[in-house]
Chain A
């Protein structure tokens, strides 16, 4: 379709229109009302309220369609699909961030902003959770379901709108085409519309309590979910929108990586972050549709109701279907991060990457094994006789994960590591992920697992891998690429100071959670036996420090983005392609054809790997 775009006159709009985001909200409201009333019209039973669970689902579909059309889908996608000339012209000023875009850099920034905003919202909810847990009884939330809903929204947003999105939708969209020397992506409008599903999904999840508190947490375990009030419906739908967004990005980026590489960017030379992106894209493409279908089955169980996953169906099938996706999901979040370590370390150390092929093989094997370990989340749920293979693969998956450590350690050995903020944050991330990984070995052993499963030990382990592994690396990458994103530099003092703050806050909070778990603190409880209170109190204090640190980072990055001192063209002296163009890069990325003739990670040679042949 793309080759048939009708060229536009170079003006902003051929006729005036509402700001797209406002129009999106308006059309979403109209879409909801129309679909909702259409449902009521065919409802054979009179006397239902204006919004029922069923009409809320159908109405939601109308709302999302209205929203996507409103932000630009109507002019940008639907009209061209029917062959009509489109009046859609992308502006060049700030307004391009608030509508459908086809520029992968604009889309990347849109994703980054959405993910960061969601991170702060879901983090605020976490602060509420920690405040509640400072006392052993309900004192902040009024009802236990409020607490459980808060836990569920925190988890859902962090997993689907931050972890899955920030590194692939955000940094991936922005940097992958630059790093392979491409001028655009293969399906720019797919990623473009994909971004606008993120706010839709986030708002759906945030406002789910309007339909009633749901208390399953982010896993939506059946049959509890079938009993829940309507809020659980918007959990399913919000996740559907968010996962759809990530699938779109994955199709686009995978096709781009395979077909749009510049001359000389062979598979053997592909940057590590690009390897991370393509492995994760494959994981996304396999497992996100899987969970979408599972949630549709859950939705039918709730609405009709069917009996797939209740006592006369098979609750364990839901658990298996959920974790079949759920375990790859944590690798979807972490694999881009561990590939970023080895992207940043060689640059900061100005040393050739050690054992690059092992690092790549590690990523690929993690991807393949991640689909074979799901049942280790169910050791206490399943028959004991079925545990063996899952325990085996779970223990084995630590081997390829270790390859990334090996490459990082080999590179750092006898290097000349410049401890700027990105380098420092990567080292912190290595440390955190080490603890996350080693505690995973304990969890992989069934007898230990029987004791610590469903306790704060698991909560701590999980946050060590995700915050410690992914979020710290995300921060590192933000500081590393800030000069490229904005052309400006951050304050080294504040960057380092805030990095140390979050390191202390994070380790102080979550290391004690291991002990809480061992001491008998189970999950999903706003009230607990009083003997656990002192340590919970301390954990909360550290958690508040961590929250403040993240807010500090957000303010600092926003300040540097807008007002920071001008950065040099290639401040880190990196060799990858994204630094060969101006900062921020022009609309078509490179002023000419990129050709690559050397390795991006060889710091023992002076000749840069890439050249740009200017177009006449």
Chain B
């Protein structure tokens, strides 16, 4: 039995490490576009960029992440129902942030034919794609959690989701800072 516990904890460490490694590699493409942003725009911010909507978008992501954190804290204390609820609320806010982004794209506040526009659409597009993937995982795990009955002994799925969503938060915040502040 003791061997089993050691194997379990080693397996968990391997999962955590693998997930972390995956996220670190996914930071590489972002490094590339951040470099491209700097190359073409340096510290320029288009006056056409809508500061309000940009801020609302990143605040929604932040709030969503915060709810997700609470969900993870809940399952650590074996409150499965809270996990599911918080993840679904988190999913809702995250989707709202994508809707705000979609609105900005649809109305084309920022003209795509400018240097700033090129970088704006590339950066928000890639960030939005990763956000979309994170939201898909939030949805999947909120359903899975209820079905396989995650518990305080077994909540790696929820933890992995939050690894991913934390990465999503970071990319959203950095993109926001680069596009709207510097």
A294-B22 Cα distance, complex, nearest whole Å: 19
A562 at the interface (CB under 8 A from B): no
Q: Are A82 and B154 in contact (CB under 8 A)?
A: no
Q: Are A259 and B10 in contact (CB under 8 A)?
A: yes
Q: Are A83 and B147 in contact (CB under 8 A)?
A: yes
Q: Which residue of A lies closest to B3 (CB)?
A: A593
| Contact of A187 (CB < 8 Å), options: B18, B30, B32, B126 | B18
Q: Are B29 and A289 in contact (CB under 8 A)?
A: yes
Stretch at the interface among A135-143, A299-307, A395-403: A299-307
A7 at the interface (CB under 8 A from B): no
How far is the CB of B174 from the nearest CB of chain A, in Å? 15
B181 at the interface (CB under 8 A from A): no
A293 at the interface (CB under 8 A from B): yes
- By secondary structure, the A interface counts as helix
Which residues from chain A contact B154 at a C-beta distance below 8 Å?
3-4
A449 at the interface (CB under 8 A from B): no
Stretch at the interface among B33-41, B59-67, B93-101: B33-41
Q: Which residue of A lies closest to B8 (CB)?
A: A3
Q: Contact mask B26-70 → A, CB, 8 Å, 1/0?
A: 101111110010011000000000000000000000000000000
Q: Are B21 and A297 in contact (CB under 8 A)?
A: no
B17 at the interface (CB under 8 A from A): yes
A247-B147 Cα distance, complex, nearest whole Å: 31
Decide yes or no: A293 and B33 within 8 Å by CB, A4-B157, A186-B15, A286-B25 being known contacts.
yes
Q: Are A255 and B21 in contact (CB under 8 A)?
A: yes
A1 at the interface (CB under 8 A from B): yes
Q: Are B148 and A83 in contact (CB under 8 A)?
A: yes
Q: Contact mask A305-336 → B, CB, 8 Å, 1/0?
A: 01110000110010001000000000000000
Q: Contact mask B104-133 → A, CB, 8 Å, 1/0?
A: 000000001001001000100010000000
Which residues from chain A contact B122 at a C-beta distance below 8 Å?
297, 300, 306
B177 at the interface (CB under 8 A from A): no
A499 at the interface (CB under 8 A from B): no
Which residues from chain B contact A288 at a C-beta distance below 8 Å?
25
Q: Which residue of A lies closest to B14 (CB)?
A: A259
Q: Are B17 and A258 in contact (CB under 8 A)?
A: yes
How far is the CB of B160 from the nearest CB of chain A, in Å? 8
A599 at the interface (CB under 8 A from B): no
Which residues from chain B contact A256 at a C-beta distance below 8 Å?
14
Q: Which residue of A lies closest to B29 (CB)?
A: A293
A252-B33 Cα distance, complex, nearest whole Å: 26
Decide yes or no: A314 and B32 within 8 Å by CB, A3-B11, A81-B140, A83-B148 being known contacts.
no
Which residues from chain B contact A186 at a C-beta distance below 8 Å?
11, 14-15, 18
Among A287, A289, A317: residue with most chain B CB under 10 A: A289
Which residues from chain B contact A308 at a C-beta distance below 8 Å?
36, 40, 118
A114-B21 Cα distance, complex, nearest whole Å: 27
Q: Which residue of A lies closest to B28 (CB)?
A: A289
Q: Which residue of A lies closest to B139 (CB)?
A: A82
Q: Are B14 and A260 in contact (CB under 8 A)?
A: yes
Which residues from chain A contact B10 at a C-beta distance below 8 Å?
259
| Contact of A259 (CB < 8 Å), options: B17, B33, B157 | B17
Q: Are B33 and A290 in contact (CB under 8 A)?
A: no
Which residues from chain A contact B36 at a C-beta distance below 8 Å?
297, 308, 317
How far is the CB of B110 from the nearest CB of chain A, in Å? 13
A368 at the interface (CB under 8 A from B): no
Which residues from chain B contact A260 at a C-beta distance below 8 Å?
14
B163 at the interface (CB under 8 A from A): no
Which residues of B1-23 are within 8 A (CB) of A? 8, 10-11, 13-15, 17-18, 21-22
How far is the CB of A510 from the nearest CB of chain B, in Å? 34
Decide yes or no: A294 and B32 within 8 Å by CB, A83-B143, A251-B18, A252-B18 being known contacts.
yes
Which residues from chain A contact B25 at a C-beta distance below 8 Å?
247, 251, 285-286, 288-289
Which residues from chain A contact B13 at a C-beta distance below 8 Å?
259
A288-B22 Cα distance, complex, nearest whole Å: 12
Q: Are B21 and A254 in contact (CB under 8 A)?
A: yes
Q: Are A313 and B40 in contact (CB under 8 A)?
A: yes
Among B24, B32, B115, B160: residue with most chain A CB under 10 A: B32
A125-B63 Cα distance, complex, nearest whole Å: 55
| Contact of A292 (CB < 8 Å), options: B14, B29, B140 | B29
Q: Are B144 and A81 in contact (CB under 8 A)?
A: yes
Q: Which residue of A lies closest to B147 (CB)?
A: A83
A84 at the interface (CB under 8 A from B): yes
A172-B147 Cα distance, complex, nearest whole Å: 36
A349-B15 Cα distance, complex, nearest whole Å: 40
| Contact of A83 (CB < 8 Å), options: B28, B115, B118, B144 | B144
Which residues from chain A contact B81 at a C-beta distance below 8 Å?
none
A382 at the interface (CB under 8 A from B): no
A296 at the interface (CB under 8 A from B): yes
Decide yes or no: A290 and B144 within 8 Å by CB, A187-B18, A251-B22, A255-B14 being known contacts.
no
Q: Are A321 and B21 in contact (CB under 8 A)?
A: no
B182 at the interface (CB under 8 A from A): no
How far is the CB of A203 from the nearest CB of chain B, in Å? 24
CB<8 Å pairs between A and B, sample of 27: A3-B154, A81-B141, A81-B144, A82-B140, A82-B147, A83-B143, A83-B144, A83-B146, A186-B14, A247-B25, A251-B21, A255-B14, A256-B14, A259-B10, A285-B21, A287-B28, A290-B28, A293-B30, A293-B33, A296-B29, A297-B32, A297-B36, A297-B122, A306-B118, A314-B39, A314-B40, A317-B39
Given pairs A251-B22, A290-B31, 13 additional interface contacts (CB within 8 A): A1-B156, A186-B18, A187-B18, A256-B14, A258-B17, A259-B10, A259-B11, A259-B14, A259-B17, A285-B24, A290-B28, A292-B29, A314-B40
Q: Which residues of A contact B (CB under 8 A)?
A: 1-4, 81-84, 186-187, 247, 251-252, 254-256, 258-260, 285-290, 292-294, 296-297, 300, 304, 306-308, 313-314, 317, 321
List the 3 closest A-B pairs by CB distance, nearest first: A83-B147, A83-B144, A293-B29
Q: Which residues of B contact A (CB under 8 A)?
A: 8, 10-11, 13-15, 17-18, 21-22, 24-26, 28-33, 36, 39-40, 112, 115, 118, 122, 126, 140-141, 143-148, 154, 156-157, 160
